[in-house]
Structure 1
Amino acid sequence: MSATGPAIWSLKVPEAYPSPQSETVPDPYNSMESVLGEDFRGLIDPADFVDGGRFRSIVKIQSRCNNQGEDFWMMASGWLIGTDLLVTAGHVVYDKAYGCGAATQIKCYIGYNGADSVPKQGSSSDGAVQPRYGSRVVTTQSWIKDSDSRLRDVAFIKVHKPFVGDLNVFEFNNNTVSPSTALFGVVGYPGDKNFRGEFGAQLYELFNNTTYDLDKQPRHMIE
């Protein structure tokens, strides 16, 4: 029987400043996903992710895991639904692909545009790029315990203090009409894109009019 209910844990918030990691590995599902057809992902204008920009609430995530005593960092993306709460994938906070289990530390950034864009320790943390630590995590029990649980691959991360400014946080909308055609977009930090030697350093977008029918999708999800 599938596990139900939430899985919740707290993360220790270090006193050290959340400087970005120089070495990260891609999202563990990167090799399972690809761009179909022509790759027309476009680099997002920085004006779109500064304060008040349309993608200000897109979050760059670095998640620390431990595999047999060795720490390493994974890169990922998320989006704000509150000043101190963001949504991401379950595998960002609890890894099964690498066999690491629960994340032991999480760093989150809005306005991120490469490691050099992050303010140094002693600078204001409320500027164009705002760094935060994850302090509390919620995912699903079924993501942790089930062998085939992509339907429950979701998580929420609470950061140690709210982001500030005009964040343009996302709102939930359950008015999906199916079948239909709609303009769908994918926005985030792709791990296959390189900027000054850093993978997943910059924000990209891909939008396209897409016809879909949820009843015909394998997981009844838009994919």
Structure 2
Amino acid sequence: MDTDHVVETYSWKLQVPAPPRLQEIGARNAFEAVVDMDHRTQVSSNDLEVNGTYRSIIKLKIAWQGAVKKRVWATGWLIRDDIVITAAHVVYQTDTFATEVRAHVGDNGADSIQGLQRRYGSRVVIPCAWQDSQEVVHDFAFVLLQGPFDHVVPLPYEPTPSAGLNDIGVVGYPADKPGKQMYMEFRQVDCSLFEEGQPLAYGISTFRGKCKG
């Protein structure tokens, strides 16, 4: 085994089911903010249906330890029909951590389609490096669901281009838009990953609740 690529992780079990009548708020103390002009557009409901372009992008509703009848929402995407990847900061921070996670496929707020599905998370895994330092390069987490989603194709892995002008998209559920619906923005971004250990950065508008993808 190549120990240079081993990542130490921290994991904990989640409670199921979530308590009722939870109030939804944006992602807790998130550090994203809209920059410059807002060019985001609402995703078509057709893209959330079975075989839709963004069917595998997930709305997460998360209850925190110590929070009473409050739930933050965030964005993740399926890498397996029962595993969601999201940002670590939406499930773990220095003073608290997620105790319950509910994942929604096809969630379009008040206009949700008939194909809406819900699954509860059973376990969360984060890098130990995020727990120790909370550096942005370690800001990712995995949520194992109690069961797989039906009729959803997980997003395939694609290598990130090392440099050059590329079409970069941000798609998810921002907390500053009404209706709790999915929005997107795509832009050509000149990026470089040649600096070792540096994450991909871009100037596309985002907001707490909408993790980058």
Class of the TM-score when normalised by the shorter of the 2 chains: 0.7 to 0.9
- Cross-structure match for 1:110: 105
Distance 2:65 2:14 in 1: 14
- Cross-structure match for 1:121: none
- Cross-structure match for 1:10: 13
Aligned residue pairs total 195
TM-score, normalised by the number of residues in structure 2: 0.82
Q: Which amino acid aligns with 1:161?
A: G
Q: Cα RMSD over matched residues?
A: 2.4
CA displacement, residues 34-73 of structure 1 (integer Å, 9 cap, x when unaligned): 2332211000000001110010000000110123x74531
Name segments (4+ residues, structure 1) moved above 4 Å.
none
Distance 1:168 1:42 in 2: 24
Name structure 1 gaps, 5 residues minimum.
119-126, 196-200
SS at match of 1:91: helix
CA contact (8 A) 1:51 1:128 kept: yes
CA contact (8 A) 1:81 1:87 kept: yes
CA contact (8 A) 1:53 1:168 kept: no
Using the TM superposition, give the Cα deviation of residue 173 of structure 1 relative to its aligned residue in structure 2, in angstroms: 1.9
1:1-223 superposed matches below 5 A:
5-14=8-17, 23-30=23-30, 32-67=31-66, 70=68, 72-96=70-94, 99-100=95-96, 102-114=97-109, 117=112, 128-146=115-133, 148-165=134-151, 167-178=152-163, 180-195=164-179, 201-215=180-194, 220-223=198-201
CA contact (8 A) 2:122 2:145 kept: yes
CA contact (8 A) 2:22 2:70 kept: no
TM-score, normalised by the number of residues in structure 1: 0.79
Identity level (%)? 32
Distance 1:177 1:75, change over 3 A: same
Name structure 2 gaps, 5 residues minimum.
1-6, 202-213
Distance 1:140 1:41 in 2: 31
